[in-house]
Structure 1
């Protein structure tokens, strides 16, 4: 008997369920199954929009009773689209988005379905923040469990470096807690191991003082990219930890600070996110400001405003990847700049070079995050509308990966990639870490119930 036709089972699930149970006949079904990557079009049998931990427990038990494939949705922002499943059960956490701040202790407790916007808006009134994703729509859960690299990571460390405790529902429907002193092996695994071990319903993070940030966007014609990028490479070699950002090729947006001849066309951009005042930012970035940029936006703002300013537009088809580099010599600079000519323009696609270092590299070395020690990351981020461009966009991403193989470390941040095979999953953790993670997986999810992720098979 299928779950669609078993009305009695659905009625039983709804009984005492605080949230909402959505099935294909429900008018809200199509909206409920829509995620960030428009290439993913799957039709679950049941969407359990949980509002409490008890809802999550009941949903897990229901899925297992009916042998349904279970997907877990937080922000739904993953390029891999693992927040959905055909004919199975989606456990949707988005209603569990409450945020509680203790400004004196400088900690924050965040619901498992919260986005960065929920977190950042809650901490902003206290002049506090923790490392978040690079846009406000990213889910806190998937972001953190994958490691969590963002604009503030060079200053504050990765998101998981600031993780103090979690509440988690296991594949058996048990509620467990993990911290450095409780279920410590599970806590270790949640620092980069993704959603393999259960459904995290609550996170507790360390907060840092951050009254404001300064954002600086500097634009050049694309042909000037190689010279400017070399200068940016030298600038970042000695930049303080307060400096985040990256170098990008993008489509010039329709903004007052963008020269008309770059609007809708390929442009080279340096983005600086500085954890401090505009005056300090201008002083520190003086070498970049002297490079003859043709468009400029520099402003102080609350961190939450910065996050919203750079939000990715919804409704686009997505394909991303990444390579982490042990070096970025002149040949690599030239390859980065040459490949930008293959981008789909105009579109929101971005070809991004992200500097690491700072507290990313100096953070805890025992977590399963081998990519944290690379000084640079190349991140092709494809977004486009027309399905006819699918293969062209995918090939552009693959070509960039191939271009940087000579300098690649082999490690990869799995939040930046889709389905790229088993070897890439192992590369996301490192071989030795993968074996240790597989043992933790066997303890908490021996049947691999939670396999819609960058999956670790239980040992």
Structure 2
């Protein structure tokens, strides 16, 4: 365990408004726990920053002490990149605030906020941002990776709505990056991950989102091939206000699912409809769900958007074992369908799943070099996730995920959503994930973090001078 000079640490505690936790402190173990309980790392210290001054002081302390630094927002990082063994975690979670300007339809959001905070603050004005499918996801990590969710087909990626960001750079400089100020940094932040600095707040353009049409349709897992062949044709041709992610799943024991299908392996689609909710419009938009095979269950209802965002929070709470891998797809080939059908029949645990998230529609109408998100031609962002509460099943879910991904990857586009990269595979895949934007990111890294101080991430190496 790295030893930190006690006098220096006392100095940091005196400087910061937020607490500094070390092993043995009452809140230390809770503060180092992550959404993914498979990650068990013990930082030498955790600095819980309440404002920009705390962030600047923490960065200076880490550099003076020669400590490796990780930055934590919502703690949802699958590979646990927000913790470094024996290093220093700069924890932004106290900076969990949202300020909405309803007249300008903008929101400024603290770097430690979660999607539920953002949705709560904006929904009262009938506004929202395309971001994620769970309210407990951190706004910062999701945004810096590009961000997609239920509103992506209608309004684009999360970064397509980002107007500016307040950033503390490695040398302590505080800047606001936007299209007019530090434009290259602004470009890099919109998908380049946490490589360039600590973002203390984001400002977003908001969109009209209030009550949406929600649907859940499931079929027996042995109909996966028929359903996927229908879905791959239906969804890309549907209007942008129709969104549906495809899933392989085991039906949970609770509403809205009837008891007779609880515990059964199924394939399905979770729908979000942002169009006209006049009577019959939602059902009309989803009228062809019977075409591939009769659903085992089909549910539709108008729902406030934040309610949709919280729908899975109780099913997959913090503290489960997770192992995931992802890929982008521009098509769902017959060969890929065979792989999905095979592994859907063999879901290893009740929570393990595979999702195909649509990233077309409005996201396709942004130039491929406008942001570091280099797969504007992708139609789906896929993730395979082995999930279980029991640590004894960690290897089982990991092996299922690895085997599934290994067979499916040849049918992908080669890269993945950076937030779906796993730690073990990332070093060889970061460049393929950024395609032609990688060299520009590496040049920006040389400008803003030439010594690669921010390296606890899906790392982009600074370009040679």
The alignment's TM-score, normalised by the length of structure 1, stands at 0.95
Counterpart in the other structure of 1:364? 367
CA displacement 1:144-173 (0-9 Å, x = unmatched): 010001111111110011110011011111
**Which string of whole-angstrom CA distances, capped at 9 and with x for unpartnered residues, describes residues 55-78 of structure 1?**
000000011110011110000101
- Any idea what SS the aligned residue of 2:117 has? helix
For residues 454 and 164 of structure 2, the distance between their equivalents in structure 1, rounded to whole angstroms, comes to: 21
Residue 150 (structure 2) aligns with: 151
Q: Give 3-state SS (helix, strand or coil) of 1:436's partner.
A: helix
Q: Is the 8 A contact 1:3 1:10 kept in 2?
A: no
The aligned counterpart of 1:444 is: 448
Which residue pairs with 2:329 in the alignment?
325
Segment drifting more, 159-168 vs 369-378: 369-378
Q: Aligned equivalents of 2:413 and 2:166: distance in 1?
A: 34
1:281 corresponds to 2:285: no
Helix, strand or coil for the counterpart of 1:126? Answer: coil
Q: Give the corresponding residue for 1:309.
A: 311
Quote the residue 1:199 is aligned against: 198
Q: Distance in 2 between matches of 1:344 and 1:314?
A: 20
Q: Which residue of 1 aligns with 2:461?
A: 457
Q: Once the 2 structures are TM-superposed, how far is the Cα of residue 97 of structure 1 from its aligned partner?
A: 1.2
Superposed CA deviations along residues 241-261 of structure 1, whole A, max 9, x for unmatched, are: 111121111111112442434
Specify the alignment match of 1:214 in structure 2. Answer: 213
RMSD: 1.7
Aligned-residue offset at 1:325:
1.8
Q: Distance in 2 between matches of 1:377 and 1:14?
A: 42
Say whether 1:414 aligns with 2:413.
no
1:300 is the counterpart of 2:269: no
Deviation at 1:330, TM superposition (A): 2.7
Residues 439 and 237 of structure 1: is their aligned pair in 2 closer, same or farther, counting only changes over 3 Å?
A: closer
Task: Answer whether contact 1:344 1:384 (CA < 8 A) is retained.
Answer: no
Q: In 1, distance between residues paired with 2:114 and 2:255? A: 30
1:427 alignment partner in structure 2: 432
Contact kept, 8 Å, 1:258 with 1:296, in 2: the verdict is no
Q: Which residue of 1 aligns with 2:352?
A: 349
> Paired residue for 2:387?
383
Distance in 2, Cα, partners of 1:227 & 1:138: 33
Number of the residue aligned with 1:164: 163
Match of residue 74 from structure 1: 73
Alpha-carbon deviation of 1:234? Answer: 2.1
Q: Which runs of 5+ in 2 are unaligned?
A: none
Quote how far apart the aligned CAs of 1:289 are: 4.9
Contact 2:222 2:345 (8 Å CA) reproduced: no
Q: Specify the SS of the correspondent of 1:86.
A: coil
Q: Is the 8 A contact 2:426 2:458 kept in 1?
A: no
Moved more, 73-82 or 392-401: 392-401
**Tell me, what secondary structure is at the counterpart of 1:64?**
helix
Change (3 A) 1:7 1:189: same
Bigger mean CA offset, 321-330 vs 97-106:
321-330
Distance of aligned partners of 1:421 and 1:52 in 2 relative to their CA distance in 1, 3 Å threshold: closer
How far does the alpha carbon of each residue in 1:351-375 deviate from its partner, in whole angstroms, 9 at most, with x for none? 1222332012222321221223112
More deviation, 257-266/192-201: 257-266
Secondary structure of the structure 1 residue equivalent to 2:280: helix
Q: Tell me the distance in 1 between the aligned counterparts of 2:200 and 2:236.
A: 39
2: CA distance, partners of 1:349 / 1:197: 34
SS of the residue corresponding to residue 165 of structure 1 reads: strand
CA drift at 1:417: 1.7
Tell me which of 395, 403, 406 is aligned to 1:402.
Answer: 406
Shift in Å, 1:381: 1.6
CA distance in 1: counterparts of 2:294 and 2:414, whole angstroms: 36
> Structure 1: which 5+ residue stretches go unaligned?
none
Q: C-alpha offsets along residues 167-189 of structure 1, whole Å, 9 cap, x if unaligned? A: 10111111111100111111111
Per-residue CA deviation, residues 31-79 of structure 1 (Å, 9 max, x unaligned), is 0110111111111111110001000000000111100111100001010
Distance in 2, matches of 1:55 and 1:279, equals: 53
Of stretches 257-266 and 310-319 in structure 1, the one that deviates more from structure 2 is 257-266
